[in-house]
Structure 1
């Protein structure tokens, strides 16, 4: 069996099929990990979700911010933005089945045998993998419950920016969701999240640094695989692998083979997308 992680697909179904052909994906034997953001910006969100759902136990997918945005729209908690390309899924005949499957995806996935963990954006420095697992389950219980529409109504916003175990209610849940699905830069002294800067490392003002470079980060030692940060592009170090290489923006869709002795990367070029503004 081979295990591959794939970066943010964002509705680019043709690119996903080309990438799977390149890696020689064997549906009967191999496993695919998706970093989230299966939907939006590309033209075929419904086909992407339908395909990944159809893989059953051969696929693991975490929720990304665009996936949550879709679910919020479907719940009536918010409305579509001018650059959202979600009509095909929202008007699909199997819409409710696809949305229910997507809503049941985790925010964090950890494989105890390999030591690999999968998350859309990253972890704040205060969380080790055990704490991340528990907090993801806390938020997922609300996503699966009757209060999910109320969660979506309170989900949007940047505060609070710093983790505190004493946080409660919607502030606590908003931080948890933001951390898993939106984190890029942090303040190194406090671990406070910064949402204003989205460029590559080096573009941020001092003293901000990428979340994975904070020296006291408690998740060190676990191998974290993530997407979300398209301006970071392909990046890896001893314990992190970033694979959002901007498929939806006309760059590449990337996979990394996680099984075996070494990480191996595969990419396919993606066409420029006329359905969105650059």
Structure 2
């Protein structure tokens, strides 16, 4: 479990840097277009590199109907979570949406306890709370502290953000089942999940495809896709050796990494508060690992 926690911490930094790159270089593209192009490029990076390193790939396991449903559902829910988040952002302020959309661990923990009979000590539960609070604080930009939650009953962006978090949470638990329960090889899961999400999002990407295409920024897509491959490998390993609650909590701290990078490199507002959030996240991770 300790190796899984350390890997998840590294993954959080990798994905946080990736989020920063998305904000800086890809904000003019549709989310579906970014996902499809990035996933295809990442697969092109991963397959030859992994084949060379592994000396080939293991055979795709034979899946019964239930295992196939869990695998497909995990991929589809991750794609749905991404698109729902993008719709929430387009309908409302980031400061309103992001704190809600990043509370994925709050959903993952009860799902694992109720459905997978996972047992967590009080320190681990407190760690999840701290890390989730850090994500909220990192995205909080003023106003009433509980404003996003009070708006839940009437705000469509907040409702969409909460739905996004729920989709990602179920997908995270499904990812654990695929990698640990079904024993799907991680080396095969990475390209399957990348291309599966691209297939799911392809119709929307086709509709939103820019008139000038993506040729001018293709080198940026290829470079960012290499980061995606590293993040996917780290994430897959973390979910294969530890619980989804622990892995999801730590990896979702990527939001803290992203806002700290934004504060330093882009001079964004609220940097001191976001730096405090980083300290809170580290405290939560220490509790989870205890």
Does the pair score TM above 0.5? no
Greater CA radius of gyration, 1 or 2? 2
TM-score using structure 1 length = 0.29
Q: Give the number of the structure whose residues are more often strand, by fraction.
A: 1
For CA contacts below 8 A with separation 6 or more, give which structure has more relative contact order.
2
Q: Give the number of the structure whose residues are more often helix, by fraction.
A: 2
TM-score using structure 2 length = 0.28
